[in-house]
Amino acid sequence: MPTAELHRCSWADGDDALMARYHDEEWGVPQRDGRMLWEMLVLEGFQAGLSWRTILHKREAFRQAFAGFVPEQVARFGDHEVERLVGNAEIIRSRAKIEATIAAAKIYCDMHERGEDFARFCWSFTDGKVIRGDGRSLPVSTPKSQEISQALKRRGFKFVGPVIVYAWMQAVGMVDDHAAGCFRRDGR
């Protein structure tokens, strides 16, 4: 399908082919893989105070730096790895966000060890269903993102405020917020 002829959400219009591909193939597609949901939650946390474009263009470097976002490996990172990551100019070098990622990996692993599936946990807030936005307005947070944020914080996750969580919900397809007229609206 030639992507140049498609009507997209305004944030994906323009000359950034990576942003267009992300919009066309990934953003808003319901993600049911727990590891990928965790990776996206971590990346949304790194985005805090920055643009998604910045994170997207660094995503492969993040994957390399964080052992492919394999939670079991990231959970074993110690002081040496933190220092290595803080010195890595290819990623966002926020010590607080790096340490939060390692802690999040430990939480993910603890949930798994207790028999809790991260994907099931995430989707339980919407009863496994996609929430459909109206295609005209884009809230920055909702009562549902506030509820999920609080649940994640109770478990010990950091950088999971309701605005970050709502952006994550959009990215992983828990919310369909594609604009009216976008070729991806309603799962197209």
Q: For 117-157, what is each residue's pLDDT tens digit?
A: 999 999 999 999 999 999 898 899 999 999 999 999 999 99
**Inter-residue contact 103 to 156 (CB < 8 Å):** yes
What share of the chain has pLDDT > 70, as a percent?
96
Confidence of residue 187 (pLDDT cuts 50, 70, 90): low
Catalytic entry in 26, 52, 81, 99: 52
**Is the pLDDT at 1 greater than 60, yes or no?**
no
**Is the pLDDT at 4 greater than 70, yes or no?**
no
Whether 44 is catalytic: yes
Using a 10 angstrom Cβ sphere, with 0-12 exposed, 13-18 middle and 19 or more buried, the burial of residue 105 is buried
Those residues with Cβ within 8 angstroms of residue 29's Cβ, 6 or more apart along the chain or in another chain: 172, 173
Catalytic entry in 27, 44, 166, 168: 44
**Rounded-to-10 torsion of CA 157, 161, 167, 168:** 10
Whether 52 is catalytic: yes
Cβ neighbours, 10 Å, residue 50: 12
Whether 22 is catalytic: yes
How many residues does the structure list for the chain? 188
Catalytic entry in 11, 22, 81, 99: 22
Task: Please compute the mean of the pLDDT values over residues 42-50 and round it to a whole number.
Answer: 95
Of 2-11, 106-115, 128-137, 148-157, the poorest mean pLDDT is in 2-11
